[in-house]
Structure 1
Amino acid sequence: MPSNDPLLSPFDLKHLRLKNRVVSTSHEPAYAENGMPKDRYLRYHLEKAKGGLALTMMGGAACVSPESPAFVNNIALYRDEVVPYLTKIGDAVHEHGALIMCQVTHAGRRTSNYEGDWLPVVSASGDREPQHRAFPKVAEDWDIDRILTAYADAAERCQAGGMDGIELMAYSHLLDQFFSPALNHRDDEWGGDFEGRLRFPLEVVRAIRARVGEDFVIGLRMGVDDERAGGNAVDEGIEAVRRLSAEGIDFLSVIKGNLDSDNTMAKIIAPMGTPAAVHLDFAGRVKHELDIPVMHAGRIADLATARYAISEGLLDMVGMTRAHMADPYLMQRVHDGEEDRIRPCVGAGYCIDRLYQGGEALCLHNPATGREAQLPHIVPPAAEKKKAVVVGAGPAGLEAARVLGERGHTVTVLEAASTPGGQIAIAAAPERRRDLIGIVDWRVQECARLGVTIRYNTYAEAADILAENPDVVIVATGGIPNTEIVDGPANLITDTWQILTREVKPGKSVLVFDDNGDHPGMSAAEVIADAGAEVEVVTPERIIAPLVGGSNYPAYLKNFAEHSVRTTLNTRVTKVARDADRRLTVTLEDEYAHTTVTRTVDQLVVEHGTVPVDDVYFELKDRSRNHGAVDQDALLRLQPQTLVANEDSTFQLFRVGDAVTSRNIHAAILDSNRLCMAI
């Protein structure tokens, strides 16, 4: 039956029929193997096709030429062997009624001189890109001729591989580097005025269209306003799109801004604490100026915003890319009237941050994304029903309870606090990071749907747990702040939890010692700076917060600059003492020269991860059937745990998350998911 939901209305894109208006736009998960999109890549896109979206777009920087090497494990479209892999992915996606396209690009200067074949990277001019730090060669005539052919060859490979179309990347990559007057300083026929700067993008489109014919969709993802000083403004960008569409561009994916630095990237791929859909009105303005279909993606993570974008005519297709990483079955939930079950994207930026730290894209709280070969998105029922007790309602405990409930087990959660969340509730206390609580809220809601019992204000001891007569006990009691790395009385040290929860008020002058390098220390420093204190952040690392990725650290550094926060690298806090006037004397030691200095402050805040709260685990260990042991081979194969150390025991015992050791949210959730998936 036809639906009144604007998101479920079909849309015709040239000769293609999209079954709804929702798209997972081109992005790079870094799942390729030696440049080829093999099984992991296929499974990732297949799951979204199963989940009901209209179009999934792969190859978030699939490269056309070897001097545009993989900078985040990209697909190598310049090799003929890619075609069978594209065919396999396309066939799998089409089987579930979805369409698939591949982004085609030359990164130009936006890559490294020290990857792949170590060929010199090329660009319109010789400007260094801040993010990837490459000094490019100025493209010569023979470079341009060769790259034009490479674009056409890559498009032909995509067509031969059964793709429904391609998308040309024209923001911050080579096409943009020629078109933007901020980046193109040439005085030949490939630069200068508007006509000269647009010549290279026009020739690329012409070369591709001549190769693939008219019955193949070519899209363009472009920074219509590149927001560079001296760059192309919106009117010039719109005129460029008109000219390009006349040569064969069939749709536009609107971008506002550029990717030249982490700071500008964080404005496009925006994390939590920023407005939702901040460029949606801009995209709508561009659409009303053009005669081709327009899509846009940019922190559109909720269905209300997506519906508004379509119903108000701001977009023809709406990109919900990170939302699909959180829940690839998003559109199936919409179709089935189960929107309240959608796992929310909380905007943590963990997916994009991992790429820029050399890893693959992972969702902070969906461990199955990118691991489809190992972990199912849909939890299967267990053959035998058991009774399980989970101790702790933090992320690890709630995930254990959720998965066990989905498996059909009877689950009771015992939580010492009056509310759920554990360390997530602490991390979400500051206003800018409050969306993290969505990780907790969704799991609590799912547990309620599954009949999981959660008992709050219950400090569980061994006798309380055994009284439940469990078959399985999961200890997810988390950890407590570890401040013992500093020599001095404990009452002189404040931990980051006390700051984030406002249990302790910041002093007038505060030294934050961050020996973790992740969000807690930075978030605490931000809260203290916002309170008006004089702040110094000290770390033994050579950079501030190395575990905080490129989309997240700009917000911290902006705050630090606004509040004149001092940062001291390569230095440890070794000692703290109370001085005669009741202030604190803090001793700092250089990591390399081992020289020492002192600071006099009102408060010392220490962040050094957590130590496990594991008393109840060790009380139960010898009484359990497995003595707490985990068969790691079985764990990784998603097979049941069968180790037996105590034949007389009737229950298995496991611990997960920070009850094992200090780690991040994703690790805690992954622990519970893969363990409980086989119980």
Structure 2
Amino acid sequence: MKYPNLFSPIKINDMMVRNRIVATPIGQKFFDKSLGGPGIVIAGSVIAEPGKSSFASSDEPYAFSKYEVEQTRQRILIARQAGAKASIEIVHAGQYARVKDFAKGPSGFIRNDGVEVKEMTEEMMEETLRWYEQTAFDAKDIGFDMIFMHFGHGWLPAQFLSPFFNKRTDKYGGSLENRARFPLMILERVRKAVGANFPIDMRISATEWIEGGIEFEDVLAFIKMAEPLIDMVQISCGLDMEREANVHMVTTNFSEHVPNAKYAKIVKENVHIPVAVVGAIMNPDEAEQLISDGVADMVALGRALVADPEWPKKAREGRPEDIVPCIRCLQCYHISTNHRNVGCSVNPRYSNESWIPRKLEKADIKKRIVVIGAGPAGLQAALVADKRGHKVILFEKNSFLGGELHYVAMEYYKSDIKAFLDYLKVQLKKSKVEVHLNTEATPELVKKIMPDAVIIAVGANPVIPHIPGIGKQHVISFYDAIEHMDKIGQNVVIIGGGTIGAEIGLELSLLQQKNVTIIELGGEIAAQGNMLYKIALRQKMQQASTLNTMLKTTCQEIKEDVVVVKTSDGEEKFIKADTVIIATGLKPNKSVAESFYGIVPETFMIGDCIKPRKIMEAVMEGYTIASNL
């Protein structure tokens, strides 16, 4: 077996688990993950105290109440359907709860939304403890195999533990012993409710990534205090509702893989219960190494199983190259997108389970399909059409696959994009798609073939703004900049502060110590990025001492050694430039795309040739169009 440690059994209290993979409760969606082969499925979350603990709604019902319990029981059946153990997350939002009257917390204050957070009295604590006890008892009573206590990410137990939240001066505040008092009381009551032999897991943040947050030394000490009451601990980090810390809880492309391993290793050296680690464990090689090196006993996968719910199955079968890699774009996270465009860039079914089937069906009528363009949209369309049994002919005018991804994958902070592009290339090699590189499709060529359908994915071209001096030799496109970073001068001006310009500037400044100025016409950098991406980008850019951004600024002229700009207040400035990079966006290749219409009845435009957008839209359009041909 390729991953012997990852697929070795483990016993947690009295419960035998078939492998070392935990499916986390991200997004409350776990049907596909349950079939994918993890050892434990955390089947979403339940609130611990109705009306006072939900971070979603003050009306969220108690999961074990008369009219909810049947649906909650279904979660167990779904989680277990392929052999996993069914766990359930028990959470209390504390001061962040959506409430009708007041919220509970370690310290009292008025929230920004006007809701009062009351400092919990011992009477209020007792009420909360009774609910925790009841919730744990009910979870065991209806058949869950274990429970998952959320003590991290700034929820109620973490609020008591952390000096950032806990400002009390009584026996529940101040010293760690005092701050740990109420969280330990929760665990004591929960253990009493479920008995000695029932597995209890606990997630905690090793560090909160916020000034004034709990120190790791205190977290480690608390875990040791809690050890007699729990059976496993899961090491995470960061905070949920504090957005500056959220990007370390759910990392972006600007963070390393497996960022919490260093904390998990220390915890494992100090406790005698199994230790799990969560956070950017991207592939089976990383997971296997964590366990074989003794860093952790289990790996908890969140977004990796959003991107590919069959991750465990494919790893077990020794074919990691078939795992669709997560690109850490955070589109699956409702906070990032303000609930407006939640989905997965590489898994169209996520959030669309009601209408996108789990498995592609073979087409009743086999067709001959021409796909023009081998970017993410075209590649996805070709692969899906091939899987459905169609004869697919793919034309790409360049000598390489990937379109825009080809260049993006070269950037330092885009290793996850490179992994996705590598995955697409492998799948294309395994397919029966007839690939023609260095071949520019024309309407005449398509007429000769006369396919049943044409899918046009010719992408977009860089926008070339009308700036005097733009034709000078030291002015290059962002494509050239990415491909030939070694030829870029010491003083760099980037015209355009979208995601591409911003990341090129970051890499040149932070990693190559070049003097970089980004000129952006609009009022923010990376305006098209989602909220958490922008926070993470800004935090990373703040580390780059030689990077300067100028917002609401226009480029007036490019001279031999300077760029002339005008600021929003009308001031003219001269910026030294050995190299000028044009990153003013993309323009859809509409005229080329539209030239293929009228040849065959079934003709479709997909991807950036309609409008330059995110990878998610390209993949979705390629998948859905091809799956319905």
TM-score tier (shorter): 0.7 to 0.9
- Among 264, 276, 280, which residue is 2:261 paired with? 280
The question of 1:95 aligning with 2:81 is answered: yes
**Do the aligned partners of residues 307 and 4 (structure 1) sit closer, same or farther apart at CA in structure 2, a change above 3 Å counting?**
closer
Name the stretch that deviates more: 293-302 or 153-162.
Answer: 153-162
Contact 1:421-1:440 within 8 A present in 2 as well: yes
Query: How is 1:618-637 mapped onto 2 (pairs within 5 angstroms)?
Result: 618-625=594-601
Q: State the distance in 1 between where 2:418 and 2:58 align.
A: 32
| RMSD, matched Cα | 3.4
- 3-state SS in 1 of match to 2:51: coil
Shift of 1:160: 5.0
Q: Is contact 1:405–1:447 with CA below 8 Å preserved after alignment? A: no
Larger displacement relative to structure 2 (419-428 or 156-165):
156-165
- Could you tell me which residue of structure 2 aligns to residue 635 of structure 1? none
1:204 aligns with 2:179: no
Q: CA deviation at 1:284?
A: 2.7
Q: Distance in 1 between matches of 2:89 and 2:341?
A: 18
Paired AA for residue 86 in structure 1: T
Deviations 1:73-114 (A, max 9, x none): 9975478344332212221222222222222122234x37xx
CA contact (8 A) 2:494 2:580 kept: yes
TM-score (norm 1): 0.82
Letter in 2 for 1:193: S
What residue in structure 2 maps to residue 664 of structure 1? 614
Aligned to 2:171: 189
Report if the CA contact (8 A) 1:522-1:556 is conserved.
no
Equivalent residue number for residue 37 of structure 2: 52
TM-fit CA distance, 1:565: 3.5
The answer to whether the 8 A contact 2:3-2:284 is kept is no
Letter of the aligned partner of 1:57 in structure 2? Answer: I
Please, what TM-score do these two structures have when normalized by structure 2?
0.88
Residues 323/509 of structure 1: CA separation in 2 closer, same or farther (3 Å cut): closer
Q: Quick one: which of 574, 582, 594 aligns to 1:600?
A: 574
Which residue of 1 is the match for residue 284 of structure 2?
A: 303
CA 1:582/1:16 → structure 2, altered by over 3 Å: closer, same or farther? closer
- Note the 1:246-645 alignment, pairs <5 A: 246=228, 248-256=229-237, 258=239, 261-352=242-333, 355=336, 357-359=338-340, 362-484=343-465, 491=471, 495-502=477-484, 505=488, 508=491, 510=493, 512-514=495-497, 519-530=499-510, 532-541=514-523, 545=527, 547-550=529-532, 553-569=535-551, 571=552, 573=554, 576-577=556-557, 583-589=562-568, 596-601=570-575, 602=577, 607-625=583-601
In structure 1, C-alpha distance between the alignment counterparts of 2:395 and 2:35, rounded to whole Å: 36
For 2:505 and 2:408, how far apart are their aligned partners in 1? 13
Report whether the alignment pairs 1:674 with 2:624: yes
| CA shift in 2, pair 1:227/1:346, >3 Å | closer
Partner amino acid, structure 1, of 2:481: I
Q: Which residue of structure 2 aligns with residue 649 of structure 1?
A: none
Measured at CA, do residues 174 and 528 of structure 1 come closer, stay the same or move farther in structure 2, by a change above 3 Å?
Answer: same
2:144 pairs, out of 153, 157, 163, with 163
Q: Flag the 1:491–1:126 CA change in 2: closer, same or farther, 3 A.
A: farther
Task: Tell me the secondary structure at the aligned position of residue 8 of structure 1.
Answer: coil
Q: Is this contact kept in 1: 2:252–2:536, CA < 8 A?
A: no
In the alignment, the residues of structure 2 paired with residue 135 and residue 554 of structure 1 have an alpha-carbon distance, to the nearest angstrom, of: 31
Q: Per-residue displacement from partner, 1:340-374 (whole Å, max 9, x unpaired)?
A: 32222234444347546435753221212232222
- Partners of 2:270 and 2:467 lie apart in 1 by 65
Rounded Cα–Cα distance in structure 1 between residues aligned with 2:283 and 2:240 = 24
**Equivalent pairs, count:** 620
Counterpart amino acid of residue 16 in structure 1: M
Q: 1:227: Cα distance to partner? A: 6.2
**Are 2:156 and 1:174 aligned?**
yes
CA deviations over 1:110-136 (Å, ceiling 9, x no partner): x37xxx445444432358999x99985
Q: Give, in angstroms, the shift of residue 163 of structure 1.
A: 2.8
> Using the alignment, how far apart are the partners of 1:73 and 1:560 within structure 2?
38
1:475 is displaced (CA, Å) by 0.5
Q: How far apart in 2 are the matches of 1:546 and 1:120?
A: 37
Once residues 465 and 567 of structure 1 are traced to their aligned partners in structure 2, the CA distance between those partners, rounded to angstroms, is 47
Alignment check: 8 A CA contact 1:612 1:661 kept: yes
Structure 2 CA distance for partners of 1:496 and 1:353, relative to 1, 3 Å? farther
SS at match of 2:394: strand
Query: Which amino acid letter does the alignment assign opposite residue 18 of structure 1?
Result: V
Q: Aligned partners of 1:617, 1:558: CA distance in 2, in Å?
A: 38
Q: Could you tell me whether the CA contact under 8 Å between 1:62 and 1:102 is conserved in 2?
A: no
C-alpha displacement of 1:218: 2.2
Question: 1:479–1:662: 8 Å Cα contact kept in structure 2?
Answer: yes
In the alignment, structure 2 segments of 5+ residues that lack a partner are none
CA–CA distance in structure 2, aligned partners of residues 400 and 74 of structure 1:
42
Give the secondary-structure state (helix, strand or coil) at the position aligned to 1:535: strand
Q: CA deviation at 1:258?
A: 4.8
Which runs of structure 2 are paired with 1:203-242 in the superposition (5 Å)? 203-214=185-196, 216-224=198-206, 226=208, 232-242=214-224
- In structure 1, distance between residues paired with 2:539 and 2:134: 43
Aligned counterparts, 1:23-42, within 5 A: 23-27=22-26, 29=27, 41=28
Amino acid at match of 1:243: M
Q: SS of 2:41's equivalent?
A: strand
- Compared with structure 1, are the counterparts of its residues 191 and 599 closer, same or farther at alpha carbon in structure 2 (3 Å cutoff)? same
Matched residue SS, 2:144: coil
Give yes or no for contact 1:84–1:161 (8 Å, CA) kept in 2: no
Alpha-carbon spacing, 1:545–1:77, altered in 2? closer, same or farther (3 Å):
farther
Instruction: Say which SS state the counterpart of residue 50 (structure 1) adopts.
Output: helix
| Identical columns (%) | 22
Map Cα deviations across residues 612-640 of structure 1 (whole Å, 9 max, x no partner). Answer: 21334322212331xxxxxxxxxxxxxxx
Q: Which is further off, 150-159 or 612-621?
A: 150-159
Distance apart, 1:560 and its partner CA = 4.2
**CA distance in 2: counterparts of 1:551 and 1:127, whole angstroms:** 30
* Cα drift, residue 416 of structure 1: 0.9
Question: Aligned to 2:371, what secondary structure does the other structure show?
Answer: strand
Counterpart in 1 of 2:605? Answer: 655
- CA contact 1:367–1:669 (8 Å) conserved in 2: yes
Asked if 1:107 is matched to 2:87, the reply is no
Rounded Cα–Cα distance in structure 2 between residues aligned with 1:612 and 1:412? 23
Q: Which residue in the other structure is 2:5 paired with?
A: 6
CA contact 2:443–2:599 (8 Å) conserved in 1: no
C-alpha contact (below 8 Å) 2:501/2:518 kept by paired residues: no
Superposition deviation, residue 383 in structure 1: 1.6
Amino acid at match of 1:287: K
Q: Is the 8 A contact 1:185 1:191 kept in 2?
A: yes
- For residue 614 of structure 2, what is the amino acid of its counterpart? N
Q: Residue 86 in 1 paired to residue 69 in 2?
A: no
1:21 Cα deviation from its structure 2 partner: 1.3
Distance 1:610 1:313 in 2: 47
CA distances 1:24-67 after superposition (whole Å, capped 9, x unpaired): 1233x2xxxxxxxxxxx5xx311111111111214368564434
Read off the aligned partner of 1:598 and give its amino acid letter: E
What is the CA deviation profile of residues 410-434 of structure 1, one whole-angstrom value per residue up to 9, with x for unaligned ones? 1111111111111112222221213
**Distance in structure 2 (CA, Å) of the matches to 1:284 and 1:462:** 60
